[in-house]
Structure 1
Amino acid sequence: MSESRGGPVTRTARRPRRTVAASLLAATALLAAACTTGGATSKADTGADDTTPVTITFWHGLSSPHETASVNAVLAKFHKKYPYITVKAVAAQTDDKVNQAIRGGTAPDVASSFNAANVGGWCSSGAFQDLTPDIEADHVDLSQIPKAVQSYTAFGGKRCTMPWLADTFGLYYNKKLFAKAGITSPPKTMSELAADTKKLTTFNADGSIRTAGFMPYLGVYGMLTEHLVPSWGGKWLTADGQSNVGGDPAFAQALTWQKSLVDWFGAKKLVTFKAGMGDEFSAQNAFETGKLAMMVDGEWRNSFIKNDKADIDYGTAVMPAADGKSQLYGAGYVGGNVIGMPRGAKHPGAAWKLIKFLTTDTDALTTLADAIGNVPTTKAALDSPALGLSKDPNFAPFLQVFKNPLTTTTPASADGGAYLTNFGHFVEKWQTGSVPDLKAGLTAVDRQNNAALKLGQ
C-alpha cells in the first residue's frame, strides 16, 4: 500500500501521518547520515557477478503474517534464481530505523519504504546510493515504468530508489445505496459527484448525518488533497522546484468545490460524523458498514473488503474529472513503495540483484501484487496474463489510472514532503471557515513551502 502526512497525507494502514517538524527533522537527519558514513559503492566496484555465497539483509515495512509470508515466497524465487545469495528479511521496519542504521554504520543492504516523500532527502544527501550505474550496466528499460512513477523514485538527477508496487486511487461506491437513490452509474464529473452526494445523504431527526453520500472533509480516510487535485490537473511544484499551490488555479478550484460541499453538510456536522466513523483500516470502516456511500481510496481496499468479509455490494470507478476537464477522466494519483540500497550496504552487488529482481522481474511483481492487492509497477507485469488482479472488474479502474499518461503524483523534494504537510495545516483552517481570502492564503502557503524547500536543500 501507499504513503501519508498530516492533512493531505499519502497514507495507508502502515503509513504514519507526518508533521512539518518530522519532515524537516528527517531531512536534517539524512544530511547528517551523509556526513557520518562511508562513501557509496557501485556494482562496478564490487564484482556484482561474483557467485561467492553471501547473505544480505533486507528491511521492509510489511508486517502482517500474510504480507510477510507473501514477501518470503517471492524471496524464495529470488534464491532459486541466485542460489548463492541468501536474503535475511526483517519485517516491520520504519524509515526512522533505516535512517538510524545509516547514521550508525549498520545499514541493511536493501531497504524499502512506504513513504516516497523521503526519496528527495535520501537522494540529495547520499543516504541511499544512486542506482544509475547499475541500471545502465544491466540495461534496465525504465520506459517500462510510467513517468509519474519514475518521478517519485528519483530526485536531483539521482535515481536512488526503484518502485516496488504502487497505489492508485479511485472512487468506491455502494451499489445498493445507489439503486435506492435512483443513481444508475458512478459520477464522471465533480458536479455529478456533488449532486450524487446530496441524493445519497440521509439525516437523523435531530439533523445529524445518518449516512453520508461522500466525505468532503479533507484528511478523512483517502479524502486527501493530493488525491483530489489531479481531477483539476494541479501541479504541486513548478519546473524549477518552487511551490505552485498559489500559482496554479487548480488548487483554488479544487478547494472551492470541496468547501461548497462542506458548507452544504455543515462543517460541524461533518466533524461529528467523522468522530463516529470506524477506524479506516478495520472492518468498521464507514464505507464497509454502509455509513458512507462513496469514498476515495486506494486499490488495496478491495482486499480489505474481502478479508473483512464486509457485507457490501460495491463497485469502483476512476475519480471524476473537474467540469471542463474531460481529458483527465481516467487519470488520477499514483504513489507507492520504494526500495533502494542504503549508504554503507556491505554487499552492494548482491543488493542490486535483489532490487532489480523485486522491481523488474514480471513473475516476482505479479506474484506479490496478487498476494497483497497492489498495482505492479512495470507495463510488462500489468499486461501479464499471470496477473490475477487484472481479471477483477473492481481492480480494473486502478490499473486504468496507473496506465494513463496524465496520471500524476506528488513530486519528490529535499524537504521530505513538508510542502504537503504545510498545505494540510492550511486546509484544516480553510474547511473550518478560518481562511477569509483563499488566494491570499494559498500565496502565503507558497512562501512557507518555499522556505521549507530551501531549508531542505
Structure 2
Amino acid sequence: MPARSATPARRSASPHRPRTPRRLVAALALAAATATLIAGCTSGGGSGTIDKTAPTHLKGTVSLWHFFTDREAKVVQTAIDGFEKANPDVTVTIHAGQDDEKLQKAISSGQSIDVGLSYTTAIVGSFCSSGAFRDLGPYVKRDKVDLNDIPKAERDYTEYQGTRCTLPVLADVSALMYNKAQFAAAGITEPPKTLDELKADALKLTTYNADGSIKTLGFNPLIDFYENSPEHWSPMIDGQWLAKDGSSLIGKSGGWKKLLTWQKDFVDEIGYDKLRSFTSGLGQEFSADNAFQTGQVAMQIDGEYRSAFIADQAPDLDYGTAPTPVLDGVGHYGASYVAGNVAGIAKGSKNPELAWALLKYLATDTDTQVALANGLKNTPTLTSALTSSKLEVDENYRTFIDAAANEHTITSPATTDGAAYLKTFQDAWNDYQEHGGDLTKILKKVDADIDAANQLAGP
C-alpha cells in the first residue's frame, strides 16, 4: 500500500489501520533508503546508562510524534490526557500527522524527538541496528516489564537480532470476510475452512454476464488484489520466510510451492485476462465502492478495520467473518498474520525517562490499550487487553481477537533493508500468476535474489 491509505470520504467515522509490509511498497523503499543515512548519523543500539531505579515522580515535557489525524488523533489525545492526569507535572507535546518519512528524516537530522510512533514494522530492522531508536532492554529489565503479556508474534516483530528498540501499540490481523446473503442464495451454509472449500465455494458464487465476462466474483485469487499478499496468505500454509542466518526459506518450503500452485490453478480456471478485466473495474480498496461492500466480490481476506468501514459506508451489508482458510494438513486454522504500529524512544531524546514512561503507558498498560482499540478499531497488542471485559467485541470482531491471541499466528521477520524480501517475493508471484513457468526455478531465484539483497544490506 502507499505510505498512507486512501482517505475515506467520511474520515471522522473511519478507522486507522496499522500498515502492513506488502501494502507499504513506499515505506519499504523508504526504510531501505534511509537505513544508511540513519546509520551514518547515529551509532550503536544502546541507550547509554540509565538510572538504577525508575523515577518516583515524573516532571517535565516530553514529545510524541505520531501519524494519526482527525478523529483518530483525538482518540490518541484522550489516551495522552489520561497519562497527563496520572502525572500532573508532565506535559506531552504532540506532533500529529507525522508519517514515517517525516519521522525518519527528523531523527536522522538530529531533531529532538522523544517518542516516535510508526505505522509499519518495516522500520524495525534498520532502526534497531542503526540505533535510531534506543535499546529498550535496560528499561524493560529495570522495571520488570512482563513482555509475556505481549503475544509472541508482536514480540517478534518489535525487535531485531536480540535488540528490542520498539514496543507494539495496536495491530492488524487478517481473516476471511463473506457475504451472508450471497452464501444463502448459493446454498452455502458455512464459510470455507480449507483452500479446496474456498475455491469450490468461490466458483459456485461467481456469476457471468451474457458475453462471458465476470458479473460477480466469489473470491478474487489475484495475489495483488486489495489485501491479497504473501503475508496475508501465509497463514494458509504456516508460511516461513527466513532462516536464523537470514537466508530465504521460501523456495525451500513445500508449503509455498503448494500455495502458489493452488492459486495459479484457481486463476487459470477462471482466466487471468478475465480476472484482470473484472478487477480493473472495481472500486478502490478504501473507497465506499470497495468491491466487497458493493457485493461484487463475495469473499475476501481483510483486516478488523474493515468492519468500521462497512458500518460507515455499507451499514446494510449482511456479512460474517471467519478464520483464513488453510491448506489441509499444513496451515493452522484459526491463526492469522499480524503486523502493526510500533513505537520507540528516539536516539536524540533529551528526556529518555519521560519518554520511556510514556511509551510504557501506551504499550503495556491494559486499560490504555483497550481504550485505544475501542476508539481506533484495531486489535490490542496485550493478551490482558485482548481478554479484557472492557474491550468492545461483537461477533465479527471476535474472529480477529481470537486470531490475535492464537499461538500459531505469525508475522514476517525484520531486516535492515525494510523487509524488502516481501516485495521480491510479491513481484515474482505477480509474474507467475500471469505467465506461469517452472515454479521450482522461479522460487529458487526468489531465494537467490533475497539472499543476495540481505548480504548486501548487512546484519
Amino acid at match of 1:312: L
2:416 aligns with 414
1:124 aligns with 129
SS at match of 2:446: helix
SS at match of 1:221: coil
2:68 aligns with 62
1:424 aligns with 426
Determine whether 1:2 maps to 2:18: yes
Amino acid at match of 2:352: P
2:11 aligns with none
2:3 aligns with none
Please give the alpha-carbon distance, in whole angstroms, between the structure 2 residues aligned to 1:343 and 1:363: 28
**Shift of residue 61, structure 1, vs aligned partner:** 1.3
Amino acid at match of 1:103: S
Amino acid at match of 1:442: L
Structure 2 gap ranges (5+): 1-16
2:382 aligns with 378
Contact preservation (8 Å) 1:3, 1:335: yes
Deviations 1:11-49 (CA, angstroms, capped at 9, x unpaired): 4xxxx43387544313223322325x998445428x851
Please give the alpha-carbon distance, in whole angstroms, between the structure 2 residues aligned to 1:187 and 1:335: 24
Contact preservation (8 Å) 1:20, 1:422: no
1:449 aligns with 450
Please give the alpha-carbon distance, in whole angstroms, between the structure 2 residues aligned to 1:241 and 1:120: 12
Amino acid at match of 1:210: K
Determine whether 1:83 maps to 2:83: no
Amino acid at match of 1:344: G
Determine whether 1:18 maps to 2:23: no
Alignment of 1:397-408 (within 5 A): 397-408=399-410
CA distance 1:3–1:277, change in 2 (3 Å)? same
2:162 aligns with 157
Amino acid at match of 2:354: A
Calculate the aligned-residue CA RMSD, in Å.
1.8
Aligned residue pairs, count: 442
Contact preservation (8 Å) 1:38, 1:344: no
Deviates more, 1:420-429 or 1:186-195: 420-429
2:324 aligns with 319
CA distance 1:198–1:429, change in 2 (3 Å)? same
Pick from 349, 352, 358: which aligns with 2:353? 349
TM-score by length of 1: 0.93
Deviations 1:35-84 (CA, angstroms, capped at 9, x unpaired): 5x998445428x85174631111111112x21011000011011111112
Determine whether 1:28 maps to 2:36: yes
Please give the alpha-carbon distance, in whole angstroms, between the structure 1 residues aligned to 2:258 and 2:115: 42
Please give the alpha-carbon distance, in whole angstroms, between the structure 2 residues aligned to 1:55 and 1:19: 30
SS at match of 1:217: coil
Alignment of 1:48-447 (within 5 A): 49=55, 51=57, 53-63=59-69, 65-325=70-330, 328-389=332-393, 392-433=394-435, 435-447=436-448
Contact preservation (8 Å) 1:426, 1:445: yes
TM-score by length of 2: 0.93
Please give the alpha-carbon distance, in whole angstroms, between the structure 2 residues aligned to 1:215 and 1:136: 47
Please give the alpha-carbon distance, in whole angstroms, between the structure 2 residues aligned to 1:2 and 1:264: 34
CA distance 1:142–1:20, change in 2 (3 Å)? closer
Please give the alpha-carbon distance, in whole angstroms, between the structure 2 residues aligned to 1:29 and 1:248: 35
Deviates more, 1:18-27 or 1:177-186: 18-27
**Shift of residue 2, structure 1, vs aligned partner:** 2.5
Please give the alpha-carbon distance, in whole angstroms, between the structure 2 residues aligned to 1:378 and 1:52: 25
Please give the alpha-carbon distance, in whole angstroms, between the structure 2 residues aligned to 1:422 and 1:30: 24
Deviations 1:282-332 (CA, angstroms, capped at 9, x unpaired): 211110111110000011111111122443100000001111236x01111
Structure 1 gap ranges (5+): none
Please give the alpha-carbon distance, in whole angstroms, between the structure 2 residues aligned to 1:243 and 1:325: 19
